[in-house]
Amino acid sequence: MNLKVFIIAGICILGGIRICAQGAETNDTVSRHPLTHEVGIDFRPVYIIPTNEFFAGENATWQPLRKSVSAHLKYSFRFHPESERGKLYPYTYQGIGVSYHSFFDKAEIGTPVSVYAFQGSRIARLSPRLSLDYEWNFGASFGWEKYHTETNSYNYVVGSRINAYINLGLLLNWHLAAGWRLTAGIDLTHFSNGNTQYPNAGVNTAGGRIGLVHTLGESAGTAMPGRPAALHIKPHISYDVVIYGASKRKGVIKPDEAYLAPGSFGVLG
């Protein structure tokens, strides 16, 4: 049930990005303004927040787990600055990424791989070449070593092999040269399965990140675009449609005992 849910969610995420990109490319092609494509890499050394005794040292190694690193490969696109959407959203980029995570305890935690959608944009322009940006990531992570009463009994933080991946970061975005940008900043990350399996204490990290982004076919200078010209927007109504679903287990707590109710039930909305 969990695997099906995450597969469906992934298809919806990637399908939505594909439809958005195709729709934008179709409109911009008509007006001779193709999308701008980018590829990037990130390296993120972070601190594991000790929200559970497992990370404080109650594990098979009897050593605190304090650090984690991840490497990210990302593809994104921007709307052409002369297109209608490019004028409305001049600093926004969106795309898909894949990352590899190490918590330096492969036997108990694993080395999960995440697949996610991401989006970012400018918060403030600091200079002609430097800006303060934000970026969020959301997707699924695969390959965790989950709790087992006999083979992995210390691991009370991960109860499933597939977990959600949620990340939010603040970045300094520096235009090094035409077509090249260096990013550096801080971020927060959360991994959990949303109580679809127990235990589900989750894994939380905070730390830094540094990355390099190359804009394909870039011919502009290193100066960053300023404030866009005012546009007339016709009054209209926008709407979103969201469909979600998952399985959930329920814990029962009594004065003299606590246990999991047998089976699971579906959540749909």
- The whole-number pLDDT of residue 30 equals 43
- The whole-number pLDDT of residue 101 equals 96
Mean pLDDT of 6-11: 49
- Name the residue among 1, 3, 5, 9 with its Cα closest to residue 144: 3
Q: Tens digits of per-residue pLDDT, 183-212?
A: 999 999 999 988 778 888 889 999 999 999
Delimit the domains of the chain by residue range. Answer: 2-224+242-268
Helix/strand/coil (H/E/C) assignment for every residue in 15-77: HHHHHHHHHHHHHHHHCCCCCEEEEEEEEEEEEECCCCHHHHCCCCCCCCCCEEEEEEEEEEE
Query: 2-224+242-268: which CATH topology?
Result: Porin (2.40.160)
122: Cα within 13 Å, side-chain hemisphere:
18
State the pTM of this model: 0.78
Q: Tens digits of per-residue pLDDT, 88-105?
A: 888 999 999 999 999 999
**E-assigned strand segments in the chain:** 36-48, 67-78, 93-102, 110-127, 130-144, 162-177, 180-192, 203-215, 245-248, 251-254, 257-260, 265-268
Matching residue, tokens 């959407």: 85
